[in-house]
Amino acid sequence: MIPFVGSSDYCYVNSLYMSLLGSGATPDQVPLPGFLECLTTMPFGNTYFTSTKLVLFDGFDPDQGLTRAIETLGWTCQLERGGNEQEALRRLRTASQRGPVLLGPLDLGHLRYHPNYAFLGGADHFVVALEVSQDYVLVHDPKGFPYATLPFDDLLQAWRAERIPYIDETYTMRSDFHPRETVSRKAMIARTLPYIRGNVQRDPGGPEVYGGVRALHMLAQTLRAEVPEHLAAHLLYFAIPLAVRRNLDAQAFLAEGNQPEAAALLERQARLLGQAQYPGVQHSWSEVAALIDQVADVEGRFIAVSASW
């Protein structure tokens, strides 16, 4: 039996955690999802999209992040993508007979067991496939849906990931998870630091996508104007709460890695972002904007500290 872990927005690392446990690892052999999240480097960096006026307080690409985390852990897996529908289902059916299969990115707008699927089109998601029957796949969805069933038609639409911006191939899956080497937590953190530095320094420079400190200041500027309804919902239901949790996990990660100054800066960001939730819900967006500008100032200091990693 593969244990269920979830009920949060850590979909890819909760799916990875379940996949590793389902592949024979014991809980004391695999770091908890908060540590795994930091191995993906997703808690580090910012991205602002000018066309949609949306921000991501993260490293933008969880697919690449999963590959980083698995390698850093000292594990290996079979990564497969592309092909047509029949090939993808055949690969999934074969792989599921050997063990858990990490599916994603998927388009949440096609996961029709989710009560709000109709409002979630274009949002990325990851699940663990447990079994493949004649007509559907059985999954553990870490958003809070253990043993959910999904008919093939819905699965294939979601699995094509046509609206997911960071992926350009269909039907991505990871299976056949095996340990390759034993890596200490200290070594995992040391391996991750250079990637963190790269993430926080990343700024595509526009005109469609911006990163780093500039992305945060652009968000603050947007919040001082008329705030679009989709941006308000994105921030209050998803981006801000997730960023606070990520910063707390990242703070613990860097403190364990003997980076106290960087850890303290992330704890400061967590407090500032946490304080933005209440005024945001009250539509006091100028107050939120002022807090985001403070987050940007702290981010600049974090970038300077990480330059030596």
Beta-sheet strand order (sheet of 209-211): 54-56, 47-49, 209-211
- Parallel/antiparallel/unpaired status of strands 124-132 and 47-49: unpaired
For the domain covering 11-179, report its CATH number. 3.90.70.10
Q: Kindly report the length of the chain.
A: 309
- pLDDT value of position 18: 97
Instruction: Map 99-161 to HEC letters.
Output: CCEEEEEEEHHHCCCCCCHHHCCCCEEEEEEEEECCCEEEEEECCCEEEEEEEHHHHHHHHCC
The domain segmentation of the chain, as residue ranges, is: 11-179, 207-306
Query: Which helix (DSSP H) or strand (DSSP E) does residue 178 occupy?
Result: strand 173-179
Among candidates 58, 101, 72, which has minimal Cα distance to 242?
A: 58
- pLDDT value of position 279: 98
Among candidates 266, 215, 217, 219, which has minimal Cα distance to 244?
A: 266
- One pLDDT digit (tens) per residue for the chain, 309 residues: 777 887 778 999 999 999 999 999 998 899 999 999 999 999 999 999 999 999 999 987 999 999 999 999 999 999 999 999 999 999 999 999 999 999 999 999 999 999 999 999 999 999 999 999 999 999 999 999 999 999 999 999 999 999 999 999 999 999 999 999 999 999 999 999 999 999 999 999 989 999 999 999 999 999 999 999 999 999 999 999 999 999 999 999 999 999 999 999 999 999 999 999 999 999 999 999 999 999 999 999 999 999 999
pTM comes to 0.95
Q: What are phi and psi of 156, to 5 degrees?
A: -65, -40
Collapsed DSSP state (helix, strand, coil) of residue 78? strand
- pLDDT value of position 60: 78
Q: How far apart are CA 68 and CA 80, in angstroms?
A: 16
- pLDDT value of position 5: 80
- pLDDT value of position 206: 87
- pLDDT value of position 189: 98
Q: What are phi and psi of 185, to 5 degrees?
A: -60, -40
